[in-house]
Structure 1
C-alpha cells in the first residue's frame, strides 16, 4: 500500500473532489463531524481552524492506495480500519477527520482529510509528512497483511528482469534474421515481434535514441542491455550492410511524421568503430 500526505489550504475544493459522486465516492470513515456534504464539513473544519490564525495550510490531505488485488478484497469495514490504523500511526489523535473511497477505476483508493488544528487550537507538525505518510502506510499494510511498497518493488524488479531478457531476445532475433538496414526498418521489424520502438528525437530533429515498450513496461535501450543503445544498434547494422551503405541509408529518416537525421557525433562513432574493426581484421582502408 502506498501512502501520500501533505498540508493544504484549499479545504473545500479538496473535500468536493473527495466526495465526487462521478468517482462512486463513499464515506468510509468519519470522526468528530456531523456535516452531510462538503460545504458543511468544511464549515466544521473552519470553526476549529479559527482557533489558530497563524496556520494557513490547516488541513491535512492523505491518499492511501492499496494494490489493485488488495483493493478488490477490501470491504467498507476494512477500509475504515485502514483509516483508523493510519490515524493512530500518524499520531493524529482526536481531530476532525473524514475519508472517502474512490471506485471509479480498478485501483480503489482512499482520500482522507484531517483537520490540522486540534480542539486545543494546536497545529499538527507537518515536517516530512510525505515520508511519514508512506512509513505509516507501510506499517498499516503489515498489520493488515496487505502488500507493502517494498514487496511491490521486489516484484517489479523481478518482473523487470524477465522483461529486459525478453526484449533483448527479440532484438537479437530481429538483428540476426531480418538484418535491418535502417533504423526505420528496425522499428518496423521489431513491431512484428510485438515490441514498440519509440524514437527519441531532440529539438534539432536529431535521432538521439530509442525507448522500448513491451507488456506495460517502457524502457530505454541502455536500461535493457548495453548492446541496445542506438550507437551499438547502428554498429551492428554497419557491420552487416557496410559503413557506406549504412550512412547513406540513415542520413535522413522519416519518423513521427517528420524528417530526422543522425547526430554527427553518432555517425562519426559508428564510422570510427567500423574502421577499427576492418583494421583489426587485417584488411586496412
Structure 2
C-alpha cells in the first residue's frame, strides 16, 4: 500500500474535485463532522481554522492506495479500518477528517482530507509529511497483512532480474551463433526473438548506445549487463566484421541503412581495441 501526503490551502476546490471526480465516490470515514458534501465540510473546517490565522496551508491531503489485487478485495468497512489506523499512526484522530473511496480504473484508493488545525487552534506539524505518510501506510499494511511498497519493489526487482537474464541470453546466443557483422543484422536477429533494439542517438546525432525493449520493459544495454554497453556491443560486432565496420576517417558505421557517427567514447574504445588486436597480430600473438 502506498501513502502520499501534503499540506494544501485550497481545501474546498481540492475536496470538491476529488469527491465529484467519480459519480459513485463513497464516504468511508468521517470524524468530528456533520456535513454531507464538500461545501459543508469545508465550512466546518474553516470554523476551526479561523483560530489559527497564521497557518495558510491548513488542510492535510492524503491518498491511500492499496495494490490493485488488494484493492479488489477491500470492502467499505475494510477501507474505513485502513483510514482509521492510518490516522492513528499519524496521530490525527483528534482532528476533523473525511475519507472517500475511488474505485476508478480498477485501482481502489482513498482520498483523506484532515483539518491541520486542532480544536485548540494548534497547527499539526507537517514536516516531512510525504515521507511520514508513506511510513505510516507501510505500518498499517503490515499490520493488516496487505502488500507493502517494499514487497512490491522486491517483486519488481526480481522480475527485472529475469528480464535482464532473458535479454542477455538471447544477445549471447545471437553473437555466438550468428556472429553478426553489422549492427542492422544484429538488430534484426534480436527482433526475431521479440527483443526490440533501439539506437540511442545524442543531440550531436551520434550513436551512444542502445535500448532493449522486451515484455513491456525498456532497458539501456549497460542496465541489462555491462557487456552490452554501446562500446562493448560495437567492439563485438567489429570483431566479427573486421575491417570496414568503422569508417576510420569519420568514425561512422552503417545503421538503419545510413552512415551514423559513433560518439567519441564508443569510437575511442573501438579504436583502442582495433589497435591492440593489430599489434598482437603483428607480434604473432594468437588472440583467443
Alpha-carbon separation, structure 2, partners of 1:177 and 1:20: 60
Partner of 1:14: 14
1:123-142 alignment runs, 5 A limit:
123-142=123-142
1:266 maps to what in 2?
Answer: 266
Deviations 1:12-63 (A, max 9, x none): 2221232134475322212222323222222222222111111111111111
Gaps of 5+ in 2: none
Report if the CA contact (8 A) 1:24-1:104 is conserved.
no
**Conserved? CA contact 2:65–2:108, under 8 Å:** yes
Q: Residues 253 and 259 of structure 2 are in contact (CA less than 8 Å); yes or no, is this contact kept in structure 1?
A: no
Rg larger in 1 or in 2?
Answer: 2
Please say which of residues 195-204 and 94-103 is displaced more in the overlay: 195-204
Please state how far the C-alpha of 1:185 moved relative to its aligned partner: 4.0
Structure 1 residues 13 and 243: alpha-carbon distance in aligned structure 2, compared to 1, 3 A threshold: farther
Tell me if structure 2 keeps the 8 A contact 1:64–1:110.
yes
SS in 2 for 1:251: strand
Instruction: Tell me: CA distance 1:178–1:106, structure 2 relative to 1, closer, same or farther (3 Å).
Output: farther
Change beyond 3 A, Cα 1:44–1:178 = farther
Relative to structure 1, the CA distance from residue 93 to residue 198 in structure 2 (aligned partners, 3 Å threshold; closer, same or farther) is: same
Which residue is 2:48 aligned to?
Answer: 48
Measure, in 1, the Cα distance between the counterparts of 2:260 and 2:77.
Answer: 57
Q: Which moved more, 1:236-245 or 1:196-205?
A: 196-205
Stretch deviating more after TM superposition (245-254 or 135-144): 245-254
- 2:141 and 2:147 in contact (8 A); partners too: yes
CA contact (8 A) 1:61 1:113 kept: yes
Aligned counterpart, 1:251: 253
Distance 2:252 2:189 in 1: 16
CA contact (8 A) 2:252 2:260 kept: no
After superposition, what is the alpha-carbon deviation per residue over 1:112-163, rounded to whole angstroms, capped at 9, x for unaligned? 1111111111100011111111111111001111111222222222222211
After superposition, the CA RMSD in angstroms is: 2.4
Aligned to 1:186: 186
**What pairs up with 1:165-204 in 2 under 5 angstroms?**
165-204=165-204
3-state SS of 1:124 partner: coil
Call closer, same or farther: CA 1:240–1:83 in 2, change over 3 Å: same
- Pairs aligned (count): 282
Correspondences of 1:200-215 after superposition (within 5 Å): 200-215=200-215
> Is this contact kept in 1: 2:182–2:254, CA < 8 A?
no
> Which segments of 5 or more consecutive residues in structure 1 lack a partner in the other structure?
none
267-276 vs 220-229, which moves further? 267-276
Instruction: Give the 3-state SS of the residue equivalent to 1:61 in structure 2.
Output: strand
